[in-house]
Structure 1
Amino acid sequence: MSLPLHRRTLLKCILAVAASAPFGCSDNSTDPPPEENRSFFPQSVASGDPRPDSVVLWTRAVDPDNAGATLTLSLQVAQDAGFQNLVLALDGLTPSAEHDSILKVKVTGLAPRTDYYYRFLVVQGSGTVSSPTGRTRTAPVASSVDPVRFAVANCQDFAGRYYNAWQRMVQLDEDLDFVLFHGDYIYEIPGSVPTGLEGRAVTFSDPGSTLPVTLLGRSLQAANSLSNYRDLYRRYRSDAFLQQAHERYPFIVTWDDHEYSDDCWGDHATYTDGRLNEEYLERRRNAELAYFEYMPLDVPPGADAGPIDVGAAPRFPDTRIWRDFEFGRTLKLNVLDYRTKRPSHLIPGDGYPGTVVMDAAALQQVGATADFATDVFAYVNIDDPQYGSQKSALRDAYQVLAIAQGLGLADASARAAQKVQGNLAVTYVNEVLGPLGQPTIDPAGKPRGLAWIHLGKRTLFSRVGSRYIVIQPTFDVYAAWCYATTQKSCQDALGAEQEASLRQSVTSPNTWHMVASSVSLTRMIWDLSGKADITDVSLRNRYYFDVDQWDGFPTKKRELLEDLRTLAGGNVLFLCGDIHASFASVEEGVPILTAPAISSSTVLSEAAEAVSGAGFPSGSPVYRYTVTLQEQTLRESNPGIAFVNADANGYTVVEARPDEALATFQLIPSDQVTVNYADQPEALAPHFTRRAFVIRQGTITETTPP
């Protein structure tokens, strides 16, 4: 697509000078220079998806005095901040009223590894006003062996917290090729963190179109309509430091769950842990459209030069945002989508704790019969007539518990009939029957198997024991069996096409193959199995803390890491986020870096809330090992962890070099996230510390920060 020059320079240049030329077109017009006016561009400007010859430029333009007015913009791209050497001047651009006054333009024909400056202009009265000036950079030429340097960021909750990490990045003004942001750019429930902080509230303009949810006894509103999701992006992008980061660097982005719904899979939400059907197709598509509108990514992929038709991007279930980027021979970056195609969590939120999911034959099939020979794993077929009274009592108990957790009588009765049948674990059955005064069942001589309770699921509808804090040894056995008996589909987190593309990509001759995963691959285990001071022996287990991330697909994770390590000749590195903690670890011979959250509550504070809420006070051994000594517990439970910080915010800078990679964590204590440093910037730097690591051929070694 041909892009015409600005009308004032049209007669001064015969052709639009390609950015590969040594000089661009000069605009020597005597017209007064445009004045920057952010009120016309309330979310400023942004750029993204840099290629050697192209980049996507973004803005949102509105008339502050007439919200319904249609503006006509011009775009200028230059090799200098004064816009004397234009390489592009494009007129007649109209922000899309259908898409919240968004304008995205793909600019092609650019020179590799070159800084460009850009701005959007609008004629207003007798003058011209300008957006803030943005700076972007293209990727290097294919043959380049120069180092590639970029920041890794994620998880930037806005409500009740300040963007001190973005402020620090802007202060340092580091020489970065791009910013990799891999997930939780927004949070769909703005009230989940109470806030009294000035300027950090988030509200919906149309609260009547939200999705009512109840979390931890609080009635909240989750984004649901397209209007709701747009409200979130507008508010988040009102932050001055986030704007400045976008103005300085191109972003490469992917999403995680909160861009749609917490712990989602496909178009399924998980707020009610299976009490209700939470399949929301329209909501998912609304979330995706707002994302495509506000993110400077090249979607639909392969678009021609010029304005991007956001509405043409395929949406769920046909969404495709996974893609790869080359930065010379030094770096091949694969950006994954973990949420769109992944299956449900292996343990359902509404799983009946007593339901046997691996019977004696299944245990024999995987060679695990001897591992589960004790009475704890005994089960019976509750439909056997001899257990008629126990079955009736169990159904009555289920109904009472389900009603207490929010189900109506009819639904609770139907669920009781559906769930309380077939093979049930004697351990759970007797736990229910005993307090009811019903005769319990003798486990002696009964077959052995694994039920949901043996994996940690103890209540009817709960994320604990299904998505969080599951028993690792039994979970791994079940996961491996499920993987084998479903032809791998139960752990197919990426989908066949994306996984095949990833495997093919890492065979390229690039020195480094880095993979951006929105969720972490570091094994997060709490090993309480040998803690004698935990008096309740049933709690002495090894637990996965979070199986919403890759720990929830352990068989697939192990297979994928081993295969990628081999295919890439050892030079593969995963870059992760989501968990609100910093990690450097080696898993199956593959280095994993997990960046801290920009501003979201840290995993230490979240664990403290969860553990105390489960009835373990701060002085208890369980609290001590999982909260007070959490970092020590994680390191002891996973020898591959070289570094962990569970209570700091910040970001990570990665430099890919021909012979090694360097990762530097920029960290600020989590208690500083509620302190506003906008008016005291000199006070911010002393709160940051740095930890640096060298990555070579499957190893991570700490080094002195640069």
Structure 2
Amino acid sequence: MSFLNRRRFLSAAGLTAAGVLTTRTVLPAHGATPAATGVFRHGIASGDPLPDAVLLWTRVTPTDEAAPGSGAGPTVDVGWEVATDSGFRNVTRSGTTPAGPQTDHTVKVDASGLDAGTTYWYRFTCQGETSAAARTRTAPAASGSPTGLRFGVVSCANYMGGFFSAYRHLAARTDLDAVLHLGDYLYEYGDGEYGPGPGIGRGHDPSGEMVTLSDYRRRHAQYKQDPDLQALHAVAPFIVTWDDHESANDAWSGGAENHTPGAEGDWTSRIAAARRAWGEWMPVREPDARRLYRRFAFGGLADLSLLDLRTYRSKQVGQTELGDVDDPARSITGDDQMRWLKDNLATTKARWRLVGNPVMIAPVVFPPLPDSIGRPLADVTGLLPPEGVPYNVDQWDGYTADRRELLSHLHDNGIDNTVFLTGDIHSSWAADVPLDAGTYPASPSVAAELVCTSVTSDNLDEITKSPPRTTSVAVEESIKTANRHVKMLEFDSHGYSLLEVTPERVQMDWVYISDRTDRNATARRAAGWQVEAGSNRVTPAPSPLAL
């Protein structure tokens, strides 16, 4: 996320309890539970829902030697079944598939022939053992007109940063059509490099930075054994993309800030290892070996374009190259993905055009700040470290020609109801996306952006070691003053977002946990903002989303 090396920052936890969210608190009776032994130690999951299919995932450990990343162990048969009821009295689809060391004993099944807009249950069997059952849901029919959709929205979950209480609270819901994970599902750092992990019993495995295929597989395996993450995977299908930490900090097409050629091998080998392990361990349907961006339709109500903003991007500009942020030869999307995205936005017949966007697109100019604030803010936002430098070059601010092309496409073709759903920045934002930020509000807003905060990754207060809602408040107000299109900003809290889509509006509510280092953290709804149909602007939501 930043040109600063994050290893110089060690987070300090200290969020105070801020209230309890009144919500469903009992996990589904058939939810996956973690197990240190047995065949199904890493839970089960589903993803990429279509009207007639869902991708099912698990990982089996048939023998002790078949440990994640080992490349050892036998190939075994894994059974699977899908039912319309949690007791599996009405099994509609079933089959058997092999699992072996070539895929790290992970299993991916594209369960097809399902009914649209329907809740299903699924489970796996292997060597006489049956996994816990989990719930999933297909997308609405292409010709359907759903009256509403509910999504959980999350990003930036550093295992060493704290407990995944945000996942636990989100898993308590029974109304999710899907969970949208916008990247940084896991982190590459070694113990003690980023977050209080070892001090709270949350050290990484392996203990060093992940670089090899075995490293990436082991790290994925560790995250998949977290009980709160397993619980969330067990209640709804995930729709996921990746950001930088699935490989290395500030990744671009030819390298990363957190990659040292020679000492850590060549980038081509490292990114191939990261990509392979991600494909094995995530419940994703992959268009091909390189392409991760893909599109989902939810009847006539919403169309979701899910972006990959790491694989094709040009290298971020350096401190002496800020004039190059506007170079049309530089791209954050790559030419093919840009054409694909513009075509999606122009041709969809859905009411809402949602864009799963790993890094912020709304322009942000940062006011001059004291060094004691500016450098920690750089770590949170991706801002370049020198005093007075205003650009967030790891995000769309560093690729302004691409942004101008996309926003002009929306404006020139009269495309309304585009909402960017964004992660990465460890904070909460609601912003208009103006055609020309310099003349806003005279310049029209052509889209809106809603940004979820981090599950555990460091917020500004933790990096500055300031009490929450003290130092950050003045920084938030100065940023909003300098950027009139930014309507809501909160730098200090962790949690998840709940997104509701109806024909009339898109609303995001931010739900914050009390303390990332408390395994039993409580949660509270903190804010809600909406985008009314045809407005292309964010406004405060008149009421909370139903819990």
TM-score by length of 1: 0.63
Q: Deviating runs (4+, > 4 A) in structure 1?
A: 35-38, 272-279, 539-542, 624-628
Cα distance change of structure 1 residues 37 and 559 upon mapping to structure 2, 3 Å threshold: closer
Choose the corresponding residue for 1:262, options 249, 267, 270: 249
1:443 is matched with which residue? none
1:401 is matched with which residue? none
What's the secondary structure of 1:94's corresponding residue?
strand
Q: Using the alignment, how far apart are the partners of 1:626 and 1:558 within structure 2? A: 34
2:379 is matched with which residue? none
* Cα offsets for 1:289-327 (capped at 9, x unmatched): 00000011111x2xxxxxxxxxxx52xxxx101010100
Q: Kindly state the Cα deviation for residue 85 of structure 1 after the two structures are TM-superposed.
A: 0.5
Choose the corresponding residue for 1:688, options 502, 520, 524: 524
Q: Kindly state the Cα deviation for residue 479 of structure 1 after the two structures are TM-superposed.
A: 3.0
Q: Using the alignment, how far apart are the partners of 1:541 and 1:37 within structure 2? A: 47
Q: Kindly state the Cα deviation for residue 657 of structure 1 after the two structures are TM-superposed.
A: 1.0
Q: Does 1:648 align with 2:493?
A: yes
Q: Kindly state the Cα deviation for residue 86 of structure 1 after the two structures are TM-superposed.
A: 0.8
What's the secondary structure of 1:329's corresponding residue?
coil
1:333 is matched with which residue? 304
Over aligned residues, Cα RMSD in angstroms?
2.9
Q: How does 1:451-490 map to 2 (within 5 A)?
A: 452=320, 475=322, 478-480=324-326, 483=327, 488-490=328-330
2:167 is matched with which residue? 166
Is the Cα–Cα contact under 8 Å of residues 157 and 600 in structure 1 kept in the other structure?
yes
1:222 is matched with which residue? 209
Q: Kindly state the Cα deviation for residue 524 of structure 1 after the two structures are TM-superposed.
A: 3.4
State how many pairs are aligned: 474
2:151 is matched with which residue? 150
Is the Cα–Cα contact under 8 Å of residues 604 and 630 in structure 1 kept in the other structure?
no
What's the secondary structure of 1:196's corresponding residue?
helix
Choose the corresponding residue for 1:239, options 214, 217, 226: 226
Q: Which ranges in structure 2 are unaligned for 5 or more consecutive residues?
A: 1-31, 67-72, 375-384, 435-444
Query: Which structure would you say has the larger Rg?
Result: 1
Cα distance change of structure 1 residues 511 and 293 upon mapping to structure 2, 3 Å threshold: same
Is the Cα–Cα contact under 8 Å of residues 155 and 597 in structure 1 kept in the other structure?
yes
Q: Kindly state the Cα deviation for residue 541 of structure 1 after the two structures are TM-superposed.
A: 7.8
Q: Kindly state the Cα deviation for residue 526 of structure 1 after the two structures are TM-superposed.
A: 2.3
Q: Kindly state the Cα deviation for residue 73 of structure 1 after the two structures are TM-superposed.
A: 1.8
2:57 is matched with which residue? 58
* Cα offsets for 1:29-87 (capped at 9, x unmatched): xxxxxx99942111110000000011100000113556434432211111110101110
2:183 is matched with which residue? 183
1:106 is matched with which residue? 110
1:116 is matched with which residue? 120
Is the Cα–Cα contact under 8 Å of residues 325 and 397 in structure 2 kept in the other structure?
no
Higher share of residues assigned helix: 1
What's the secondary structure of 1:630's corresponding residue?
helix
* Cα offsets for 1:475-526 (capped at 9, x unmatched): 4x5533xx2xxxx222x11111111011111122110001111111233332
* Cα offsets for 1:227-274 (capped at 9, x unmatched): 000111011111111001111110011100000110010140213799
State the one-letter code of the partner of 1:291. Answer: W
Cα distance change of structure 1 residues 41 and 522 upon mapping to structure 2, 3 Å threshold: same
Cα distance change of structure 1 residues 565 and 165 upon mapping to structure 2, 3 Å threshold: farther
What's the secondary structure of 2:99's corresponding residue?
coil
Q: Using the alignment, how far apart are the partners of 2:222 and 2:334 within structure 1? A: 33
1:528 is matched with which residue? 368
Percent identity over the alignment is 30
2:540 is matched with which residue? 702
1:7 is matched with which residue? none
State the one-letter code of the partner of 1:114. Answer: T
Cα distance change of structure 1 residues 120 and 274 upon mapping to structure 2, 3 Å threshold: closer
Is the Cα–Cα contact under 8 Å of residues 160 and 197 in structure 1 kept in the other structure?
no
What's the secondary structure of 2:353's corresponding residue?
strand
TM-score by length of 2: 0.81
Identify the range of structure 1 (539-548 vs 283-292) with the bigger mean alpha-carbon deviation.
539-548
Cα distance change of structure 1 residues 569 and 123 upon mapping to structure 2, 3 Å threshold: same
Q: Using the alignment, how far apart are the partners of 1:625 and 1:633 within structure 2? A: 14
Q: Using the alignment, how far apart are the partners of 1:645 and 1:132 within structure 2? A: 38
Q: Does 1:630 align with 2:471?
A: no
Cα distance change of structure 1 residues 556 and 69 upon mapping to structure 2, 3 Å threshold: closer
Q: Does 1:593 align with 2:450?
A: yes
Q: Kindly state the Cα deviation for residue 627 of structure 1 after the two structures are TM-superposed.
A: 4.9
What's the secondary structure of 1:74's corresponding residue?
strand
What's the secondary structure of 1:165's corresponding residue?
helix
What's the secondary structure of 1:72's corresponding residue?
strand
Is the Cα–Cα contact under 8 Å of residues 34 and 227 in structure 2 kept in the other structure?
no
Is the Cα–Cα contact under 8 Å of residues 525 and 638 in structure 1 kept in the other structure?
yes
Is the Cα–Cα contact under 8 Å of residues 342 and 493 in structure 1 kept in the other structure?
yes
1:138 is matched with which residue? 138
Q: Using the alignment, how far apart are the partners of 2:131 and 2:414 within structure 1? A: 43
Q: Does 1:346 align with 2:303?
A: no
Q: Does 1:86 align with 2:94?
A: no
1:673 is matched with which residue? 516
Q: Using the alignment, how far apart are the partners of 1:330 and 1:229 within structure 2? A: 37
Choose the corresponding residue for 2:355, options 506, 515, 534: 515
2:292 is matched with which residue? 321
Is the Cα–Cα contact under 8 Å of residues 36 and 130 in structure 1 kept in the other structure?
no
Cα distance change of structure 1 residues 225 and 61 upon mapping to structure 2, 3 Å threshold: same
2:440 is matched with which residue? none
1:48 is matched with which residue? 47
* Cα offsets for 1:368-398 (capped at 9, x unmatched): xxxxxxxxxxxxxxxxxxxxxxxxxxxxxxx
